[in-house]
Structure 1
């Protein structure tokens, strides 16, 4: 019997944890600021603290934690392999193993942690309990401080050969020419379509400091510059989504993230652009907003942990069906790594 999992949505500005049951009921939600500027150790301490806080509401000791984290994640080891400057020095952080060590020191018992990218967690949640429930091929796109995407097939996110599947924010985009992305490169989608990019471009054009939501509000009141910035962002995103739909032909496209609530001007420009760029057979693709909001990432993180941990507990069950072959790097040759992003201190004692 699988009990409640503590699920964590770890972003660049805030971290939320909650208890999630096997049926998807969420309770004991708690949110703290993410001390990203203070470095990885401070972030790890904050995550351990919020997980510990939530665990006090559980009816039994928590032994399973699922994390959706900002950055590209090696799900096999729970390590962050790449991250933008929104999370300084986050790349290379052994999030799974470090969180296990901190929680074990607090609780005095073994705990197992599964880590994946936060957009993959969001998409998994929507495919399990949200707008994409029952769909076999789901494209999730999130727009907020950054732009991300995830492809979920039959309820499972596809990570890619280098854990980089879904990085739509770093697709070269004509409307972003000359604009610097958070990754440091020029011309990426995120540099024009993210909420922070809209705010930055508006300030550069007008000298007025405003966040993305304020720029949207100004556009709805007829501010010409704000309208142009919001429309540029929506059209650029629509073009990128059209490219993904052309390649993937998904059952549904789910749009989430804080900037996805930018209002009818933004939504209409994005939706119209997608359909105008697609060939006729694809133009009827369903494009819908997230139905779960912030709950999606928590549900997805919990579901991934429940699935993999339950498989690992059953003798003879494949832990990662159809897992792609991943070449061993020189740096990791001869070293063993925890299975499927599940980390604990007792793995050597478990039957294989």
Structure 2
């Protein structure tokens, strides 16, 4: 963890189940170049690593030596390995993420869970004793938790996986992790779309289609969206009672569908709160859509760097 040139720009990669975002981040935290591409989620781990490396090449400039990657799944930053993952990205569990990217790019690589990386940018604003709940609702439901100014990784790096908390609204529904009744099974984008179909809605290819139909007054679309939002709000409100956070952040593509979702989540969240927390409200990430890539770039300053010359993986 020595020899870090903090003056040079860094490549930040954000890997989600649907999209890869890449950015060249300057030493002052400014995003200099952006690039996005689809995640080859059904193509296997090697295809995903190849796509990450290609995304890095799209934003890289001469002089860059470090790359931070914020990835879906349970990530061990020390070994650089995906220790556990759902089937959102096929074959992702067990992937040597840092070694694979270092070998493909020739850069020194730091890695962590995607939501935890994004949440670190919020935690920095809260001071030395901040407590934070950060939820990311998109293709899946991820999260991060910080207490006393420290991001919690937990046993096996599993801390913060909010999508796998039990949810009454998801009772009996299969989750991507293999269990049933978890929040992700009713609150993630694909889960809301699937529930819309169960309610009798016309076939829809994605959540945005459901949201558009809700805006036109489709009762099934409205019910599916508000149920997913209420489920998320209830889980986050209960967790807030347990942790007493200074800030609760809700990020990801699902909240971006508009006020119908956001209002239902906020109402359900507030209804769960104990009296001392009644003023607390969920907020969007302060880093906006760049939060994850900025957090990924910041990993190269704080986590172990995996060197392409010592990973043991052929270049």
What TM-score, normalized by structure 2, do the two folds share?
0.90
Counterpart-to-counterpart distance in 1, 2:238 and 2:269: 9
Counterpart-to-counterpart distance in 2, 1:26 and 1:154: 29
User: Which protein shows a greater Rg?
Assistant: 1
8 Å CA contact retained: 2:83, 2:156: no
Counterpart-to-counterpart distance in 2, 1:183 and 1:29: 32
Alignment match of 1:67 (pick from 66, 69, 73): 69
- Does 2:216 correspond to 1:214? no
Alignment match of 1:171 (pick from 135, 141, 165): 165
- Does 2:49 correspond to 1:38? no
Structure 1 match to 2:27: 22
- RMSD (Å) for aligned C-alpha atoms: 1.9
Counterpart-to-counterpart distance in 1, 2:77 and 2:38: 25
Structure 2 match to 1:90: 92
SS of 1:295's equivalent? helix
SS of 2:83's equivalent? strand
Counterpart-to-counterpart distance in 2, 1:217 and 1:73: 35
Counterparts of 1:133-212 in structure 2, within 5 Å, are: 136-153=130-147, 156-210=150-204, 211-212=206-207
- Does 2:150 correspond to 1:117? no
SS of 1:206's equivalent? coil
Structure 1 match to 2:306: 343
| CA displacement 1:222-246 (0-9 Å, x = unmatched) | 2221221111111111110012101
Cα deviation, residue 207, structure 1: 5.0
SS of 2:199's equivalent? helix
Aligned residues: 304
Query: CA, structure 1 residues 27+154, in 2 after alignment: closer, same or farther (shift >3 Å)?
Result: farther
Cα deviation, residue 38, structure 1: 1.4
Structure 1 match to 2:79: 77
8 Å CA contact retained: 1:5, 1:306: no
8 Å CA contact retained: 1:140, 1:256: yes
Counterpart-to-counterpart distance in 2, 1:180 and 1:102: 36
* More moved, 152-161 vs 66-75: 152-161
Structure 1 match to 2:238: 243
Counterpart-to-counterpart distance in 2, 1:153 and 1:304: 19
Cα deviation, residue 154, structure 1: 6.6
Counterpart-to-counterpart distance in 1, 2:102 and 2:164: 32
Counterpart-to-counterpart distance in 2, 1:287 and 1:18: 27
| CA displacement 1:146-194 (0-9 Å, x = unmatched) | 1111123576532112211111101111110111111222111011111
Structure 2 match to 1:323: none
Counterparts of 1:6-21 in structure 2, within 5 Å, are: 6-21=11-26
8 Å CA contact retained: 2:21, 2:35: yes
Cα deviation, residue 294, structure 1: 2.4
